[in-house]
Structure formats: C-alpha cells, structure tokens
Amino acid sequence: MTDTPQDPFDALIVGAGPAGLMAAEELVRAGHRVLMAEAKPSPARKFLMAGKSGLNLTKDEPLETFLGAYDEAAGWLRPMLAEFGPAEVQDWARGLEQEVFTGSSGRVFPTAMKASPLLRAWLKRLDSLGVTLRTRWRWQGFDGAALVFDTPEGRRRLRPRITVLALGGASWSRLGSDGAWAPWLAERGVALAPFQPANMGFRGDWSDHMARHFGAPVKGTALCVGDRRLRAEFVISERGLEGGGIYAVSRALREGAALALDLMPDLAQAEISARLARRGKASLANHLRKALRLDPARIALLQEWGRPLPTEPAQLARLLKALPVPLQGPRPLDEAISTAGGIARKALTDDLELRALPGVFAAGEMLDWEAPTGGYLLTGCLATGRWAGRAAVQALSTRS
C-alpha cells in the first residue's frame, strides 16, 4: 500500500457528482489545492442519466413553497437553500453559458434539455481552476486516520487536512451510488438512518388484458393520498406503476397510506352519474369513451381495479371519482431514483461536519433528507455541496 503525501493537496473530495463538484469549486476558488476521487471511469453518471429525458434543474417558486417539499428536513436545510435556491441555481447554470427556461409547471430546464453540455462546461471550468480529478479511485474505508482507495496504480492511503464526502445514496449502484460507505462511517461512530427507497415505482399484479397498456402514460387524473390531491401523470409498467405522479406521493405510500384515483377530476360526481345514465345500447366501454371521453388507459384501470363494475350510474360515478389502487409495495431500493436515510441530522454540525470525525464534511444524498423529483432533489444536492464546501474553506483557514 502506498502512502500519498498530504501535499500537494489541501482538500479531498470523495465523489464527483453534483454535490462533490460544487464543494470542489468552493474550495478551489478559495485558493486551496483540491483532489477529487471518483470511483467510476467518469464523473456524475447519475446526473447524466437523470438528464437524459430532460434535466430538471430546479422549480421556480417562492422559497417557502420550495422548502415544503423537504418535509421535516426543511428546517435544517433552510439556510442552505436560502443561499442557493431556485434563483441561484438558474444563475449558476447561466454562468456556465447554459441558458434555461421555465415550463408551464414551474420546472426549470436548460434550453439544451440534456445534462451533458452543462456537465462538460462545469468540468472544463473546474479543470481551469486547478481541481485534480482522479477516476477509478474507489474509497475502501479507513485505516487509522487515513482514507484508503483502490486505484489503477494500486492501493493508496490519503490523510488530507479536510475531506468532503459526497458519495450519493444507495440506489442506482451501477452508476456509483451503492451505499457501501455506510458501515465504514458507522464503525467510526457516525449515526445513520436506515436506507429506504424514495421517488420509486410501486409493484402491482396485472391481469393479462393489461399487457397492451404497458408503457402507456395515464393523464387527466388526480392521485388522492390521505388529504392530498395531486394532478399529475404516471405510467403503467409491466411491474406496476411508475412516473412523476407516483414519485410525488411515494413517501406517503411507502409509509402505508392508501392511494385512490379520481379518473374524472374535472367533473362532479353528479354530472358523471347523469352522463352515465344516458347509455342506451352502447357497450359500457364505448359509453365511457364517448360520454366521458375516457382514454383506453383509464378505462383499462377502471376495469382492472373496479371489477365487477357496478351497473348503477351513481355507483359507477362514485368509483370513477375514487378508484382504489391495490399496490404491492415499493420497487427495490436499487431501482429507486433516490433514497431516504443515510447520515442522520444528529451526526452533523450546522456546517455539515461529522461530529464523530472532525475535519470530515458530508453533502448530497448521503444525508438523511428526502425530496421529490421536479428539481428539488438536484437543488438540495447542489445547495448542500456548496454549504459543505464553504464550511470546509472556513475550517482550513482556522485549523492548523
């Protein structure tokens, strides 16, 4: 095993996703020499994957509304998001010469839509500032006070003055977020919360007639979970239900809440009943399509979960307004877009330094906070990475 001298680097960043890159930029701009270690052959793989269908950077809304997406973590994340929230994320993207636009829902995207142009510009800027990036450097835990890495040149031990951990959560292990770091921190006395899937699909058992609808988007519905009512799309998949609408209520469903669908959210139950009463000789499926303008996907869900369908119009109208959805639990952890759990809030100072490991900071999905897709998750990673990086700069200036 090779010992790498403390010099020529002042700070070590472990993990080259959005949080780690943000921390690295703060440190290098303050004049520090930064080494960034990334386990994969290239940085920010999960970031790139998330941006393949359109990189949702943030949500353009007031801070108080924005904070509501973080539930019980909103209080301790508030100062970080107040300093680097939706407006600042947009300015940051423009600073990388990536113009942005706001969609009708308030979601903010780069004009190029993809993540790759933004990442290339960011990496180029970090390289010009002097950040040293080492890929295929996989952290393997601690050896005394040193951090141990498997590298293409063999095993290395590093003892940096300051470290920022930004290793992601425990989903999408093929992209680098595998949660392997959790036992190494637990052994050092860092309090952890168990990993749980977040922003995930849910398993469901389908009858044979549903196969032709796999992959179909379900539009024009409201998802009803407890007192919450959400107008959003989701997707019928071979394994159950997925997509933005399901992700938005996934935490409540994971914790045991029931899901019902309002298949006709723009019509009152009485109006639906009146239209259903004018059926005549048409088949029920044709009548639902013509009288209520239900598309094939919604008709299929009604027939799947409402059978045997009631023939009395008022009863059928009631079912259309509150169709119970039987779910079989969340998809596996590694299939989730993100994870809840990780480093517990009590394990961190207000500066995101690990109480059990002075000089070691943490950021991003490693921390025990949960946010939906729609820009909240990425903004949280950027904001915590920036906060940890700035705190690390302060630590370097005050500690020998």
pLDDT tens-place string over residues 140-155 = 999 999 999 999 999 9
> How far is Cα 363 from Cα 19, in angstroms, rounded to an integer?
6
Report residue 6's pLDDT band, with 50, 70 and 90 as the boundaries: very low
Position 278 pLDDT exceeds 90: no
User: For position 2, what pLDDT does the model report?
Assistant: 61
Phi-psi map region of 375: left, alpha, beta (phi>0 left; psi -120 to 50 alpha): left
User: For position 282, what pLDDT does the model report?
Assistant: 76
> How far is Cα 320 from Cα 135, in angstroms, rounded to an integer?
53
User: For position 281, what pLDDT does the model report?
Assistant: 77
Q: Who contacts 219 (Cβ-Cβ below 8 Å, separation ≥6)?
A: 233, 295, 297
Position 166 pLDDT exceeds 70: yes
In the block, which residue shows the tokens 């079989």?
A: 328
228, 252 contact by CB (below 8 A): yes
149, 158 contact by CB (below 8 A): yes
Q: What is the CATH superfamily name and number for domain 2-196+332-398? A: FAD/NAD(P)-binding domain (3.50.50.60)
Residue type, 359: G
**What's the token pair of residue 91?**
């300015």
178, 184 contact by CB (below 8 A): no
Compute the average pLDDT of residues 260-280. Answer: 93
Position 24 pLDDT exceeds 60: yes
Cis, bond preceding 8 (omega within 30 deg of 0): yes
CA nearest to 90, candidates 378, 370, 297: 378
Compute the average pLDDT of residues 348-361. Answer: 98
Strand order in the sheet with 11-14: 132-135, 34-38, 11-14, 162-165, 360-362
> How far is Cα 387 from Cα 256, in angstroms, rounded to an integer?
34
Compute the average pLDDT of residues 320-342. Answer: 95
The two counts, helices (H) then strands (E), for the chain are 14, 22
CA nearest to 246, candidates 294, 300, 201: 201
Whether this prediction's pTM lies above 0.85 is answered by yes
Compute the average pLDDT of residues 201-229. Answer: 95
> How far is Cα 288 from Cα 296, in angstroms, rounded to an integer?
10
Q: HSE (CB half, 13 Å, CA atoms) of 57?
A: 29
> How far is Cα 99 from Cα 91, in angstroms, rounded to an integer?
9
User: For position 100, what pLDDT does the model report?
Assistant: 96
User: For position 280, what pLDDT does the model report?
Assistant: 76
149, 180 contact by CB (below 8 A): no
For the chain, the structural domain boundaries read: 2-196+332-398, 202-325
Position 4 pLDDT exceeds 70: no
At 108, give phi and psi (nearest 5°). -110, 130
> How far is Cα 362 from Cα 168, in angstroms, rounded to an integer?
10
CA distances from residue 146 to 140, 160, 276 in whole angstroms, order as listed: 11, 8, 72
